[in-house]
Every structure is written in structure tokens, then in C-alpha cells.
A and B are shown apart, each in its own frame.
Chain A
Amino acid sequence: MSADLTAGKGRCHGTALLLVRPVQAAIELGAGGDVVAKVLNAVHHANRHGNEDDFVAVALPGMQMTRIGMVAGHDVTMFGSEESLAAVLNLDGIKLLQRRGMVRDLVTEEAWCDAGSTGSAWVRDRTCEKYTAGWLRRSQARAARRGKPLGKLSPTRGFPTDLLTLTYGTTPVHLREVIGTVSGVPLMVSTYGFSSPGAAAVLPVQSLMAERRNADAA
């Protein structure tokens, strides 16, 4: 890992938002997933090369459970400052999407993270990375290496079905959507643009899951 790159969590100002939505033809021709992957990689790149005081957060408002499992949907909404979003817009990946006519017009808008309004947080959930067969094997090897007792091993756990698996290169990132209330405290997100379960950064986004939950409740 390069020391020059930003790591860990950073603050997202949440004063501006940018919705990236593929054109209908890109979705119909099977390239909708390419758009989402390109945008997520651009955000990660921008945050890794950016300032930890000005991170970009990501919302996937169309994330939903389908027959084949959890899918990301086609829309990606980025939150940040006008400067941080401009930095993302300036990256090759985003320019490539525009050059190839894969996305609708990209317009940065003002965002209001008013405390009390409902929204959703997209949190990276790493619990599923524990108690897997590989994790148990590594734990045993580590304990043997250190000459320490491992203790009682729990059986492997099932994989929560409400998680979305994204892949950045060879790194899997498991996401969960948490519907909540915008709190007004600073939004802290990782370089991927997602928050953690302990400090969910609720973004003012009306997601598909929230809409469905409201419809079910009504």
C-alpha cells in the first residue's frame, strides 16, 4: 500500500450530490453494470487520492433483492462537496462513460442533509467475512504460529442474504442498506464511499427498499 494514498475514514461534507444514471440503451444492451462498476471505482480512486476531510459518499438507491440475489441497481448517487464531486467528474472512468454516451447528463446539485429527514446508509458489513471456512483455518494457523490456545471454535455461519457483494479488483466488499434518519453529525465514510455499521452515515436518499418498506407498512 502506498503511503501517499489516503486510507481509513474521511468526512463527507454532503453539501452537493451527483446522480449517475445510465441511459436506457446502456441498460437494455447489457452495459448497466459496467456503468455502476466504473463509477464505484472512480469514487474509490478519488477518495484514495483525495483529502480525508473531503470524501465522497456513495448511495445505491436502486439496490434490491432479486431472484439471483441482491443487486446494485442502475443508479449511483454521490454525495460530497462541489470540489470533491468535480474531482470525480474529472476522472478518466467518468469521462469514458460520458464519451461513450452511456450515462445521462451529469449535473451536480445542491444537497441538504437536514437532521430528522429519512434516508438510507450503505454500510460495509464485514461480519460475513468471519467464521467462514477460510477464516477458521487462518485462525487455527495463527494460533498455532503464536503458540496460543485458539479457544472454542464456532461453526461456520451462513452468509446474510441481504448483503450486496461488490468487487474492487480482487477485493470483495459486502454492503448492507440501513434505512434510518439523517442525524446531522458529520458523515464519515471509507475510501469506498461507504460507512460502517457502528457509525452509519445516513444520506438523504429515498431508496427503492425504503419505498417498498413504506408501501408494505401502508
Chain B
Amino acid sequence: MEQLAGAGRIIQPRPSSIVAALYTLRDLDTDVAILHGPPGCCFKHSRLLEEDGMRVVTTAMCDSDYVFGGHDLLVDVLGKAIDRFHPKTVGIVGTCASMIIGENFHRAVQEVGPSCPIIEVEIHAGFNDNTHGAIVTLEAARAVGLIDEGEMERQKKMLTLATEIEKRFGAASKDYIEPSRGDLKYKAAQRLMELMKQGKKGLSVLNAKKETAYMFADINLAVSQAARAAGAPGPVTIANLDQNVGLPRIRRYASTITAQLKEAGVAVDHITGGLDEYPMTGEKAARIIEEKYSDYDYVVLSGVPHAVPYEAIKGMEIFSVTNGPRQVAPLKDIGHRHVMVEVDLHPKTLGVKGMVESEFGETLRSLL
């Protein structure tokens, strides 16, 4: 109910809980997501998720449906989705419009009587923390037996931690943060090469969220390739690429990336956890660094750099790569010297089956 508190609201646009619900349905390998709301709601993300293999359809509510209710529309679209796509699971996702007028998903589901499980996600975008959308989706999936209690609680814990980190160090840390494209990548790349050529010892840390690792891992790959080319000591690679944690889809990402890195001659020295554990694996990476590598000279952090506690790396020259333009100022404030943004990273990591090139990785490789 935090969204109802008056003072101190963040005035920059925030990620949407509805979108978070859609992504969580994708993580659950849901075949069809039905957005119960207006036709344009979440268009951009819906398109991207279609590229990722989940069908997204809408009940296309219009003005008269806001007045008379959209029950019949939902019954109709749910029936159509089942007849046409023969899904194994369907998610119904709320929107501001359908939730404000009190639409009852369950009544529609009962009326259709589908043979497959239906995840009823009663969500709208009126929450400061978009993770609320993910949590509601997990609870709805649990309610129809698609995930077990332990997995739901583990993910809820991660989402709560992610929210805390975002508020303490990330894009939710102030009521307004100027978006920035960060430092010039070629300048940062040149500086990194300089350090390598000086024989400095470095760390390469991947702490990424789910599919974004497909691009962020390319940075860690490029760092290893650059060190090798420069004849510098190979960087110690620390990554949240545990292949045995999370939903099957998340484990697939970790396996694919690990195999691709291995093929390119990069071994992961320390595994910190799974790709959905990024709020916690940053801490774990910090502990490993404090224990074994506190005297290292530089660190490259890719993914969610602000989840790695600064105390562990403050003596090093820090190169951080994020995909959030509003992450730059907070990282600079913490003390990260070079902060780069991989613009439009997320769309480029949807609908792919393996690692994709990053701008910073490519810039680094261009200097070799």
C-alpha cells in the first residue's frame, strides 16, 4: 500500500508492475499472457516478450467497457486463446483500467472452464515498486500449483532485496535522477587497456539479472580477451552463473553463457549464485573479493554494479557497466570512477538464444 502514501513520491517514470508481471509469466514459461485492459497498454514490452516466445494478447478494452465492464471480453479472449494456441498455461494480467473498475478474473475463468492452469494476476501499475507485480504473479502461480512454496519464497526474498538495493543505491534512491549515457566507452576502454598493459591485477565481475546476462557477460568475455591480448595477468572472473538455481528458463541462460564463455577460453573462477539472485550475489562477490583479492588494482562490474558493496572494492579503479541511464549518477556518487551505459540492452537480449555483443565489449576488442 506504499503507493498510497502521499509525500516523497519519485517523480521520474518508474518501471511498471504490469510489465514485471508479464516478465515473470515469461520466466514461468507461460504460453499465453492475456492483458485485460486497453489495446495499447504495455505495447512495447508485449512485443518484446512475443520475440521471447510468449504470446501476448489483449482484451482491448475501450471506453464503453470501462463503463459496462469487460467480463464478456475476457471470457471471449480466454476462450479464443485456448482454442487457437492450445496453451499449457495461460496468465491473465490486470491493468489499471480493469483493476480500477473491479474486474473479476476468477469469474471469467470459471465461466470458460479451461483445461489448463490459469494464472490470475490482479495487478495494476500504481505501485512504486515494480517488483510487486512479480511477487503477485509468483503468488498467483503458486495458487494454481505451478511453483512450490520454497521457490516462491526464495524469489520473493530476492525481489524484496532487489527493491531495497534499488532504494538505497539505485534509480529509486532519489525522487529525481537525471538520466545519463555515462562515460565515453572508448576512453574507459583505453584506460582499462592501459592498466592491463601496466600488468595490473584485475577482477571481472558479472552480477546480472536474468536474460540481461546475455549481453553483460560479453563484457566479461572482452575483458579476458583484452588481458590475454595485452599479455596482462588474466582477470579473476566472478559471476552469478549457477546453473542449478531458479526456474528452468533462468538455468538455461546460465548454462548457455557458461558454455559460450568456456568455448572462448574463459573459465568462471567463482560462482556467486543464480541469475535471479543478483540482489544477493553482489554481497557474495564482495565477500570473495575481501577474502582473496582485496589488493587487486581494478575491477570491471557488469550488470547490477550497485549490488556489489562499495567497501569491498573502494581501493580499486572501478569500471561499471549498467543498462540504466538513471543508474549513472548514483554509481558516480558512490565512487565508481568509470560508469558506462549499454543503451537498449534489454530489447537486444530478448528473443536470443545466446550471448550478444555489447558496445563496451566491442570497443575494448577494437583496441586490441
Answer yes or no: are A and B bound together in one complex. no
Residues on A close to B: CB < 8 A? none
Residues on B close to A: CB < 8 A? none
